[in-house]
Amino acid sequence: MHGRVARSAFALGSAGMLVLALAGCNQSAPEENSSQTALKIVEQVQIDENGAEVKPAEGTTPADPAGDGKATCPPVSIAMAGALNGPDAALGINIVNGVQLAIDKHNAANPGCQVQLKKFDTEGDPQKATAIAPQIVDDQYTVGLVGPAFSGETKATGTVFDQAGLVAVTASATNPTLSENGWKTFFRGLANDAVQGPSVANYLKNTLQQKKICVVDDSTDYGLGLATAVRETLGPVADSTCNISVKKGDKDFSAAVTQLKGASPDAVFYGGYYSEAAPLVQQLKDGGVTATFVSADGTKDQQFVDQAGEAAKDALLSCPCGPATGTFAEEYKQKFNADPGTYSTEGYDLGTILLKGIDSGAITRPALLDFVRNYDGQGVARKYQWTPAGELTTNLIWMFKVQ
């Protein structure tokens, strides 16, 4: 099995997956650190919307950003917008590193076509993204964008990019409604939460045979959208007595923990990001909640493990992101001295697609938009081909486990 080979070659996760050596990042006692050093996020199984296993495709060759080395182009740039600082920065850094690797490989092989990467830090904040979007579209050299990274900032800026005719391929924004705005420049490089939510819900309900599940969301566009899809798919398995909403930025979850303990569920699903998931899972463990902790791509980062410590053990994490394999994983680790993280693969693949467009002669915004709209090719993570609404034509989800 392809995934088993990949697992033996490297550990999946974020930039810090090599060793949990920074004791200062953990809030647990020093004597526990030795046991925590082994914890990592490991791929388990690829599933469809019914929660059933789907074997990964074998023998596929991903597109190479280096191309044939003969490309020529005038000065052009690709932008990346996402959280590069702030509590959720690891996710944005994973993406920008993937894009950077693709561009560096391209530029090294194509002296006649040097593409620049321009990075824009939104901190994942829709208001900051709104201020940054005009800077991106006003740059005449920028012909394509990887991002924005989060759903809230994508929702806030999509119209700006659409009006400018700038193709915007997101590696990570998964709110289903983003493709319902009529934007002609929006393309999602992974499955949305209308796929992820039912897939993980059915995996818990049908495959793992969980009978009672509490669903918690962080009230963001991403977290609430995902949790809603999970609740709807679980039906009566989602216990209405522990249907809880918290807030992004919360650190004290004592009220939620009390409510969750009283419900005695088999599992707790959390829709949100790792910066809140880590203290939540710690407080659940400290509060005596023994339910399996389940979350999704916003939590699937080694920072979750670093910050939660031993409390993260056995947590299940779903992700529409594809595992990093083969040459890409080796080159990424060599360049950044870290394993690829969540969305690194998507950043690399989407950057590669934009570069292939530029190399084909699509050096204007309309031409590159048309190239992406008609693209059909294999990447490291998956095959990329889009519907007119900007959704992938094939969508699968991966399940991971902290172990």
* φ, ψ dihedrals at 318, nearest 5°: -95, 155
Calculate ∠ Cα 301-304-308, nearest 5°. Answer: 160
Beta bridge partners of 318: 399
**For residue 19, what pLDDT is reported?**
31
C-alpha 352/C-alpha 176 separation (Å) is 24
Tokens coding 75: 């000065």
**For residue 326, what pLDDT is reported?**
86
C-alpha 137/C-alpha 160 separation (Å) is 8
Q: What is the pTM of this model?
A: 0.82
Residue 147 Ramachandran class (φ > 0 left, ψ -120 to 50 alpha, else beta) = left
Tokens coding 157: 């800026």
**For residue 63, what pLDDT is reported?**
96
Q: Which helix (H) or strand (E) holds 99?
A: helix 89-109
**For residue 353, what pLDDT is reported?**
98
**For residue 37, what pLDDT is reported?**
52
Collapse the DSSP code of 318 into the 3-class scheme (helix H, G, I; strand E, B; otherwise coil) and give the result. strand
- The structure tokens 């999946």 sit at 12
C-alpha 331/C-alpha 108 separation (Å) is 14
Each residue of 236-277: pLDDT tens digit?
999 999 999 999 999 999 999 999 999 999 999 999 999 999
**Closest-CA residue to 267 (of 319, 304, 341, 215):** 215
C-alpha 183/C-alpha 158 separation (Å) is 7
Are the C-beta atoms of 44 and 332 separated by less than 8 Å?
Answer: no
**Closest-CA residue to 19 (of 9, 2, 33):** 33
C-alpha 190/C-alpha 192 separation (Å) is 6
Calculate ∠ Cα 87-91-93, nearest 5°. Answer: 95
Regions of the chain short of the pLDDT cut 50? 1-36
* φ, ψ dihedrals at 170, nearest 5°: -95, 135
C-alpha 283/C-alpha 244 separation (Å) is 15
**Domains of the chain, first to last:** 2-55+194-321 (3.40.50.2300), 76-192+323-395 (3.40.50.2300)
**For residue 22, what pLDDT is reported?**
28
Tokens coding 120: 């824009």
